[in-house]
Copies of this chain bind each other. A is one copy, B any other.
Amino acid sequence: MIINGVECCETFQTHEELIKAVNEKMPQEDALYDLAELFKVFGDSTRIRILYVLFEAEVCVCDLAQVLNMTQSAISHQLKILKQSKLVKSRREGKSVFYSLADGHVRTIIAQGREHIEE
């Protein structure tokens, strides 16, 4: 079969229909990129652990470092990434900065991930 001037294996699927459906529903290039960037943020166990702590309470950087047994710098770098993705928000109180979850999608996404794994 020939599609767009390129040869292709034989399938039962009508290629034109597939291409039409994909073109209609596939997000734009930049949206796909943003989506991948978002999931990349979830793709690190340190950041997942940070999120799990924030599931319980609003916590300052110092305490996060303690609870997770990591350096303040490492935690701070990861918090920056989480904040850029709008997964967490921060609030300064004196010398400390307290972090908390930005919205409910975080819980849903992680819950779905766990469901998938636990099958």
* A contact residues vs B (CB 8 Å cutoff): 3-4, 6, 8-11, 13, 15, 18-19, 21-22, 25-27, 31-45, 47-49, 52-53, 55-60, 62-63, 66-67, 86-87, 95-96, 103, 105-106, 108-110, 112-117, 119
CB pair A35–B105 under 8 Å, yes or no, is no
Residue among A39, A43, A44 having the largest count of chain B Cβ atoms under 10 Å: A39
CA distance A59 to B13 in the complex (A): 8
* Identical copies in the complex: 2
- Shortest A91–chain B CB gap in Å is 13
Selected contact of A42 from candidates B39, B63, B108, CB within 8 Å: B39
Q: Chain B contacts of A86 at CB under 8 A?
A: 116, 119
Which interface residue of A4, A10, A66 has the most chain B CB atoms within 10 A? A66
- Measured in the bound complex, the distance between the Cα atoms of B40 and A37 in whole Å is 10
- The 3 lowest CB-CB distance pairs between A and B, nearest first, are A40-B43, A39-B42, A105-B116
Give the CA-CA distance A8 to B44 in the complex, in Å: 26
* Chain B residues, Cβ within 8 Å of A59: 11, 13, 18
Q: Which of B33, B35, B43, B115 contacts A113 (CB 8 A)?
A: B35
